Amino acid sequence: MIQISKPITGEEEKKAVCDVLDSAWLAQGPRVKEFEDRFAAYCGAKHAVATTNGTQALILALHAAKIDGEVLVPSFTFAATATTVKAVGAKPVFVEVDEKTFNMDAEDARKKITDKTTAIMPVHLYGQCCDMDAFRELAEDKDLTLIEDACQAHGAEFRGRKAGSMGDLACFSFYPTKNMTSVEGGMILTDDAEKAEGMRLFRNQGQTRKYWHEYEGYNFRMTEVHAAVGLEQLKKLDAFNKARRKNAAFYDDALKSVETPFVDKRCTHVYHQYTIKTRDRDALVKALEAAGIGYGMFYPIPAHKQPVIGSSASLPITEKLAQEVISIPVHPAITEEDLHAVAKAVNSTG
């Protein structure tokens, strides 16, 4: 079986975990701080706040920016992009994606701004950055907070700037299927010291000193075990991304009669997913299953169609893509033989 995703951990991660367990400090401590500092430096941001997962990272960011009213989000994304907006008491307003890149469309975002809009939250889907020039201009023009959902874009770049360094705030997930993992985990990046401090307080029960709960807050802390894994994975991230890009380049050459999202020249894509568009997805699923090849559909039901959201928005491009996309294995652990097997299965349905 060729898996659609495979976390790659080795002796380094094992040793790092054992070192934590052998130490006296298991909950949030010096390794979490080191992971924050190293990840912020890697991405080119001033401050980082580690948390339990990407969903909590989005909630912390929205809370820190005191977001209410309406938030512009894409619907062609993992549901947490929208459900977290609801979680902080704001309304997700759904924006169409660009037909070519499948990323949130800045022109449609502009049309959906109302006097209630407070923030824009573009998602760097599949590992390719959104048009951050356009979103930055829009945010500045309309005085909106710009939050990058960079949960799928560790190491991705736009005009040489890393994902996570271009918004007012940016959120990452370190779930095991991502380009790097801390098992579960999340991180928020920002250049705003005050917001970073607010998030640190919120993450730790709103305590300004022990048992003094001055602010609203919960326990959203990352553990030392998770940070230890994250630190080791961060050292490997560039090599992982290089392998993903190489695998993607193979597919770009080898796959016939399939459409893939257009790669913007300003972007360094890190292929969290290699996604193709097909009119006969059922036939492709059958061919992949027969060949023992894992696949994923990201995302078969857009966020605005989720029962918990209850939106009446109409997003024809998003809704069509949800019927047509399928992702094939692109992770660094697949072999050359696997790549040929995947290409053969995909081409057999063309």
Residues 193-232 touching ligand PLP, rule: CB under 6 A, are: none
Q: Which of 28, 51, 75, 81 binds ligand PLP (CB under 6 A)?
A: 81
- Which of the ranges 145-153, 215-223, 285-293, 315-323 carries the binding residues for ligand PLP, by CB under 6 A? 145-153
Q: Does residue 78 belong to the site contacting ligand PLP (CB under 6 A)? A: yes
Cis previous bond, 295, omega within 30: no
Residues 150-169 touching ligand PLP, rule: CB under 6 A, are: 151-152
Give ∠ CA 158-301-346 in degrees, rounded to 5.
70
Q: Please state the closest distance from residue 141 (CB atom) to ligand PLP, in A.
A: 25
Q: Could you give the C-alpha distances from 252 to 225, 245, 247, 276, 335, in angstroms and in order? A: 38, 10, 9, 10, 16
- Asked if residues 123 and 152 have their Cβ atoms less than 8 Å apart, the reply is yes
Q: Does residue 175 belong to the site contacting ligand PLP (CB under 6 A)? A: yes
Q: Which of 39, 43, 50, 53 binds ligand PLP (CB under 6 A)?
A: 53
Q: Does residue 54 belong to the site contacting ligand PLP (CB under 6 A)? A: yes
Please list the residues that pair with 157 across neighbouring strands.
162, 268
Q: Which of 186, 198, 261, 302 binds ligand PLP (CB under 6 A)?
A: 186
Q: Which of 80, 132, 330, 342 binds ligand PLP (CB under 6 A)?
A: 80
Comparing CB distances to ligand PLP, the nearer of 149 and 232 is 149
Structure tokens at 332: 């660094």
Q: Does residue 131 belong to the site contacting ligand PLP (CB under 6 A)? A: no
In this chain, which residue has its C-beta nearest to ligand PLP? 54
- Asked if residues 190 and 170 have their Cβ atoms less than 8 Å apart, the reply is yes
Q: Does residue 123 belong to the site contacting ligand PLP (CB under 6 A)? A: yes
Q: Is 244 left (phi over 0), alpha (psi -120 to 50) or beta?
A: alpha
Give the integer Cα–Cα distance in Å for 260 and 161: 24
Q: Please state the closest distance from residue 216 (CB atom) to ligand PLP, in A.
A: 21
Give the integer Cα–Cα distance in Å for 34 and 48: 10
- Asked if residues 188 and 51 have their Cβ atoms less than 8 Å apart, the reply is yes
- Which of the ranges 72-80, 158-166, 229-237, 274-282 carries the binding residues for ligand PLP, by CB under 6 A? 72-80
Binding residues for ligand PLP, rule: CB under 6 A, are: 53-55, 77-78, 80-81, 123, 149, 151-152, 173, 175, 186
